[in-house]
């Protein structure tokens, strides 16, 4: 059996995603992007959404729109993808890394002490890891107390609801990802920013397209609409109608696909949680909703005769695709050279990253495939338990 780590859902025919503007010959930012933004705003229960070409772009735009720069610091987990941190680096900000908790999210027990002791900390970027909601009530309490801006990295978390509410329904901001392997995709690349702050939304939109006063759709209409002004030094981060049309086709299925992801996660949980040498992830939150973007198991090293990498190799030999999320930021050479990090600076993230495996979790996964994955993992346990 050959089971890839991820399999995207694509239409049987491109005619299913072609919108009217594309049929009329318009491919870049136009009316379909606006429709997609409205759909995401409705889904996120947010007043404003700006569609961009990646979640990374969205995170960067928000920090730029807030005028953060050299001398400012931001708090961010080390156990995350590079984008969560590099977006601040782009602007000359300095990241203050924080270890993860037992659920792979930022350990909030460290945050208030860090903020209290350093007045240069201006923002915090909590990451809803794998779609599991961060305790946002606590985050916003700290933010309110110390005047911090909160930028939620919701790359994994479109369907997520925290104990504070829907991600993006805030006067701060959140960024979503529609990359190829996310719960919905805009054709391979894409992202968005959601917020209830109109001033912030307007500035993010302006910066997303060169700081121009009009997008292409409005510049090429009749009646001297080609005239425009550049009011800010901006970027080229806009989403196209072609991408938005793919996203519109996908979002119609989001609840159905999330239900399937939940079913699969619960099936894994039922069988794999009985293995003494494996720690299964938290998949339900009594105060919120898990997006189930990833299902990550963690090996307990002392319970096994083999190490994680060998475990992955054996699963791959059985035709099962896997991944590892992630190598922590403090272990990457750029950040080691710049800030002098060593692995033991963040012991939990370091230990977890050396023992986690992400296994397939997507709506196209068949019942016989998930049974096979479970059986293979159980067989490896029986063969290699210490």
Give the angle subtended at the CA of 291 by the CAs of 357 and 276, to the nearest 5°.
35
Q: What count of Cα atoms within 13 Å lies in the side-chain half-sphere of residue 302?
A: 1
Report the pLDDT value the prediction gives residue 226, as an integer from 0 to 100.
67
Q: Strand 165-166 relative to strand 278-279: parallel, antiparallel, unpaired?
A: unpaired
Q: Which residues contact 326 (CB under 8 A, 6 or more apart)?
A: 79, 80, 81, 353
Give the angle subtended at the CA of 312 by the CAs of 386 and 134, to the nearest 5°.
95
Closest CA to 112 of 148, 142, 67, 69: 142
Q: Where are the beta strands (DSSP E) in 101-214?
A: 121-124, 149-154, 161-162, 165-166, 173-177, 191-195
Question: Cα 150 to the chain's mean position, in Å?
Answer: 15
Query: What ranges do the domains of the chain cover?
Result: 14-251, 254-384
DSSP state of 131: G
Determine which helix (DSSP H) or strand (DSSP E) holds 198, and give its type and residue range.
helix 198-207
pLDDT (tens digit, 9 = 90+) per residue, 277-294? Answer: 999 998 877 778 999 999
pTM of the model: 0.95
pLDDT (tens digit, 9 = 90+) per residue, 320-346? Answer: 999 999 999 999 999 999 999 998 899
Report the pLDDT value the prediction gives residue 33, as an integer from 0 to 100.
95
Please state which CATH number belongs to domain 254-384.
3.90.1150.10
Report the pLDDT value the prediction gives residue 225, as an integer from 0 to 100.
63
Cα 185 from Cα 293, distance rounded (Å): 12
Cα 314 from Cα 110, distance rounded (Å): 38
Please answer whether residues 370 and 267 qualify as being in contact, where contact means their C-beta atoms are separated by less than 8 angstroms: yes
Q: DSSP string spanning 267-313? A: HHHHHHTT-TTEEPPP---TTSB-----EEEEE-GGGBSS-HHHHHH
- How large is the angle between the packed helices 198-207 and 55-65, nearest 10 degrees? 120
Cα 42 from Cα 335, distance rounded (Å): 38
Cα 16 from Cα 22, distance rounded (Å): 12
Report the pLDDT value the prediction gives residue 217, as an integer from 0 to 100.
57
End-to-end Cα separation, the chain, in angstroms: 28
Please answer whether residues 75 and 123 qualify as being in contact, where contact means their C-beta atoms are separated by less than 8 angstroms: yes
Q: Which parts of the chain register pLDDT below 70? A: 214-226
**CATH of range 14-251; options 3.40.30.10, 3.40.50.720, 3.30.1370.60, 3.40.640.10:** 3.40.640.10
- Dihedral (Cα; 107, 353, 272, 308), 10-degree rounding: -160
- How large is the angle between the packed helices 241-251 and 31-44, nearest 10 degrees? 40
DSSP SS3 for 371: helix
């Amino acid at each position: 059996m050959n089971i890839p780590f991820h399999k995207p859902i694509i239409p049987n025919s491109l005619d299913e995603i072609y919108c009217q503007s594309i049929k009329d010959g318009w491919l870049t930012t136009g009316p379909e992007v606006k429709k997609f933004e409205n759909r995401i705003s409705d889904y996120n229960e947010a007043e404003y959404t700006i569609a961009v070409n990646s979640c990374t772009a969205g995170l960067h735009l928000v920090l730029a729109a807030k005028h953060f720069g050299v001398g400012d610091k931001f708090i961010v987990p080390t156990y995350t993808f590079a984008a969560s941190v590099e977006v601040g680096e782009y602007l000359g900000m300095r990241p203050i890394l924080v270890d993860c908790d037992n659920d792979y999210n930022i350990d909030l027990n460290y945050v208030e002490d860090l903020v209290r002791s350093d007045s240069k900390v201006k923002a915090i970027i909590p990451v809803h890891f794998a779609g599991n909601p961060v305790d946002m009530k606590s985050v916003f309490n700290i933010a309110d107390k110390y005047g911090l801006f909160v930028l939620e990295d919701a790359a994994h978390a479109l369907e997520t609801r925290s104990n504070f509410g829907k991600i993006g329904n805030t006067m701060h901001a959140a960024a979503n990802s529609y990359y190829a392997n996310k719960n919905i995709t805009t054709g391979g690349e894409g992202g968005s920013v959601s917020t209830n702050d109109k001033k912030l939304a307007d500035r993010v939109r302006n910066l997303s397209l060169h700081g121009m006063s009009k997008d292409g759709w409005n510049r090429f209409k009749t009646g001297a609409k080609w005239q425009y002004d550049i009011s800010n030094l901006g970027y080229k981060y806009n989403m196209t109608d072609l991408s938005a049309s793919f996203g519109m086709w996908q979002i119609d299925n989001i609840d159905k696909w999330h239900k399937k992801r939940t079913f699969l996660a619960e099936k894994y949980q039922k069988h794999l949680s009985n293995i003494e040498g494996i720690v299964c992830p938290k998949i339900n939150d009594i105060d919120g909703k898990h997006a189930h973007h990833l299902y990550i198991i963690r090996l307990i090293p002392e319970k096994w005769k083999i190490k994680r990498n060998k475990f992955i190799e054996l699963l791959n030999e059985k035709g099962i695709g896997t991944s590892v999320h992630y190598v922590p930021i403090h272990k990457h050479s750029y950040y080691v050279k710049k800030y002098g990090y060593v692995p033991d600076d963040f012991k939990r993230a370091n230990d977890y990253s050396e023992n986690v495996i992400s296994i397939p979790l997507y709506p196209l996964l068949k019942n016989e495939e998930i049974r096979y994955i479970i059986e293979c993992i159980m067989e490896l346990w029986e063969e290699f338990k210490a």
